[in-house]
Amino acid sequence: MNQRQILLNPGPVTLSDRVRAAMTKPDLCHREKEFATLCLEILDMISKVYPGAKEFQPVMLTGSGTSAVEAMLQSFAPAAKKTLIVANGVYGERMATMLTKQGKPFELIKGDWVKGIDLEAAENILNKDASSFAAIATVHHETTTGRLNDFRPLAKLGAKVGLGLMVDAVSSFAAEDIDFDNLTAVAATGNKCLHSIPAISFVLAKKDLLDSGKSEAKSLYLDLFEYYKAQKNGFSPFTQSVQGVYALHEALREFQDLGGQTARLKTYLSRRDAVLDLLASIGVKTLIPRDTFSSYLTSYIVPPGKDYDKLHDALKAAGYTIYAGQGNFSGQIFRIATMGDIRQNEMDQLLALLKTHLT
Ligand SMILES: *Cc1c(COP(=O)(O)O)cnc(C)c1O
């Protein structure tokens, strides 16, 4: 399979040649100063992705996006008071599973997957009983449907009663706009909008929170406070993915060369709109309203008379991997993520293929 594979799943992504080449650099021990230098540069580049994140410090660890979300909850969700989870999809509900496994108290607002986050429910709960909560958690881009949740009203609501918001921004960081006001921590990863390999994920947390040293972790590997201490000199308590660090370093340099977050958002929007326009023109219906989608992930109802598996296999044979629905949506919808290193001729071919196989 030497043909370029264009991944249209929401991570991992099609790599650029320069990121792939970076992984063939010489082997390196993670206790050597060259490795520490690379890590410090990565942390510096991550902290500059959003000018609004000045009070936040990234902490990186080896693991996929889930490890960043779980490390965030491990380290910051308290054992003594509840966390309010405001969910509208698989990833929000997964945070509740994580807290269950950690033995920490929470309340879950299990919102409708095709609706926005339920602010009213959150408001009612907090109006009644804010003092039994210590934190709020939600998902920015709910990848289940492709919906970009506006968490700002929730962050404001939390601030009114003295609660900070933790955000799973695994599938939005580096592309979507993020307002850091009233947030305490943001979990993200290298292998989605930053276009690196699945290997290194990270959490941006308020510096004063990290400096407080008050870890709530009941896990050794996922305790961000330990990473924070070690990484002041560029190191890590455990072996990091060295090739993953090479790849992420190069991906961040490429990201900067291409114009950073605002440029990435623009690129994503133009690709996404091309797919939305084409599918609308041939009558394929979106799962949620067009104006609620994130910049790169859209979801569609499998048209009557069409079969998801057949569509998937036909596109895959041509080098394009689309993505199925999760959970309740399995077999009912398909998703297209136009993230990663996709060239214009590949976008053109994708549109032609979709037209052929969906009409
Ligand atoms: C992809 C994703 C995750 C999990 O990331 P993995 O890399 O699969 O572990 C978590 N949250 C959201 C919103 C995601 O899209």
Question: Do residues 121 and 138 lie in contact, with contact meaning Cβ atoms separated by under 8 Å?
Answer: no
* 245 vs 191: CA distance, rounded Å: 11
Ligand 1 centre to CA of 339 (Å) is 14
C-alpha to C-alpha distance for 294 and 13, rounded to whole angstroms: 16
Best residue for ligand 1 mutational test, from 86, 189, 195 (most atoms within 8 Å of Cβ): 189
Is 98 close to ligand 1, i.e. is its CB under 6 Å away?
no
Q: Which pLDDT score, from 0 to 100, does residue 327 have?
A: 83
* Dihedral sign for Cα atoms in the order 200, 204, 205, 206: positive
Note the pLDDT tens digit of each residue in 121-163.
Answer: 999 999 999 999 999 999 999 999 999 999 999 999 999 999 9
User: For a substitution probing ligand 1, which of 61, 67, 69 has the most ligand atoms within 8 Å of its CB?
Assistant: 69
Chain-centroid distance of CA 66 in Å reads 9
pLDDT digits (tens, 9 = 90+) for 260-317: 999 999 999 999 999 999 999 999 999 999 999 999 999 999 999 999 999 999 999 9
What is the position in ligand 1's atom list of the atom closest to the CA of 139? Answer: 13
Q: For residue range 206-254, list pLDDT tens digits in order.
A: 999 999 999 999 999 999 999 999 999 999 999 999 999 999 999 999 9
Ligand 1 contact, 65 CB (< 6 A)? yes
With tokens 């993020």, the residue in question is 178
Tokens 């009644």 sit on residue:
128
Residue 252's nearest CA partner among 18, 76, 14, 12 is: 18
Q: 216 in ligand 1 pocket by Cβ < 6 Å?
A: no
